[in-house]
Amino acid sequence: LSLVIIASIFESTLEQHLDDTMKNPAVVGVLCTDQQGHNLGCRGSLSDEHGGVVSVLAKQAAALTRDPTDTPTVCLESESGNILVRSHGTITVAVHKIAS
Amino acid sequence: FRETSQFFLLVPCFFPRAVCLISTELKSKDPDEIKPLIPHPNPVSKPPNGTDWITPSVPSARTDEQALLTSILTKTAQNIIDVSAADSVMMEQHEYMDKARQYSTKLAVLSTSLPQKKPLALPSLTSQPHQVLASDLVPYSDVQQVSKIAAYAYSAISQIKVDAKEDLVVQFAIP
């Protein structure tokens, strides 16, 4: 029982962070995945099904440069808004922002 | 083309008691793909009353394993063209030419009648590509914001760890 309790407390830090991100009126979606595209948490317009694409895009973009410290930010631009994808360590985060 | 009569000879060699021939699994595939282009003249291969073969009810003596083996065998027999068959059908020159002509005419008819498969088009993301390309760049503040969000998320996730308190498997003390 003690194991389960500890894990849920730390998980809520991520959940809180995702909620805080959504408080920004321009942000309509946020997604967090691991290196294999598994969903770690999502809100709004981004969900489970986008996990694979998001993680692969970030990985492919990182392959464009030899410098491992030079992390790229992938931007998918459209009329209705932008989706920005960025990796940090072992996770990849995607944020869907609309024009405010 | 295949001489279907030969396949049915293979089956009884292994399972003398086998009676089922074509399984109903064939029905799941597109029937046009698997029926012969030219109907086989040999009546042995045709079902007696013109309908498809159906698998008969499994006799009580047959085990599930044997039924499974039989079905695997018949499925393989369907897909294999046996060129080393013992009693190969000897066809005369004119019969070969006749069959070849039949097939080519049948193919010509089918190729014109079958609808051409269109390659799947990629979905279009926007009807105004010029507008999107000419519009302002993504603001650098947005990029920085996402960078920060990603960093916070990573630190939140790296805090998730298993803190082992006690063994999951314990010895029961029976007094």
Q: Encode pLDDT of B32-69 as tens digits.
A: 566 666 665 554 443 444 444 444 554 555 688 999 99
| SS3 state of residue B123 | coil
Residue A62: exposed, middle, or buried by beta-carbon count in 10 A (0-12, 13-18, 19+)? Answer: middle
Cβ distance of A6 and B163 shorter than 8 Å: yes
Cβ distance of A10 and B156 shorter than 8 Å: yes
Between A and B, how many residue pairs show a Cβ–Cβ distance under 8 A? 85
| SS3 state of residue B16 | coil
Crossing angle for the helix pair B64-79 and B4-14, nearest 10 degrees?
A: 150
| SS3 state of residue A86 | strand
Q: Is the pTM of this model over 0.90?
A: no
Q: Which of B147, B159, B165 sits opposite A2 (nearest CB)?
A: B165
Question: How far is B140 from B138, CA to CA, in rounded Å?
Answer: 6
Query: If you measure CA to CA, which chain B residue comes closest to A73?
Result: B143
Chain mean position to CA A32: 3
* Per-residue pLDDT tens over the stretch B100-141: 999 999 999 888 877 767 777 777 777 888 888 888 888 999
Crossing angle for the helix pair A2-23 and B140-158, nearest 10 degrees?
A: 170
User: How is residue B151 written in tokens?
Assistant: 């960093």
pLDDT at B1 > cutoff 50: no
Residue A84, beta-bridge partner list: A75, A95
Cβ distance of B156 and A17 shorter than 8 Å: yes
Question: How far is A93 from A18, CA to CA, in rounded Å?
Answer: 10
Closest CA to A94 of A44, A25, A20: A44
Closest Cα of chain B to A94: distance in Å?
8
How far apart, in Å, are the Cα atoms of B33 and each of A17, B26, B29, B49, B78?
A: 55, 10, 8, 22, 13
- CA angle (B104 as vertex; B103, B107 as ends), nearest 5: 85
Backbone angles phi, psi at B158, to 5 degrees: -70, -15
Residues of A in contact with B154 (CB under 8 A): 88-91
Residues of B in contact with A95 (CB under 8 A): 145-146, 149
Closest Cα of chain B to A17: distance in Å?
7
Q: Which of A10, A78, A86 sits opposite B146 (nearest CB)?
A: A86
What does the pLDDT read at residue A97?
Answer: 94
What does the pLDDT read at residue B43?
Answer: 42
> Is the ipTM above a cut-off of 0.85?
yes
Cβ distance of B163 and A3 shorter than 8 Å: yes
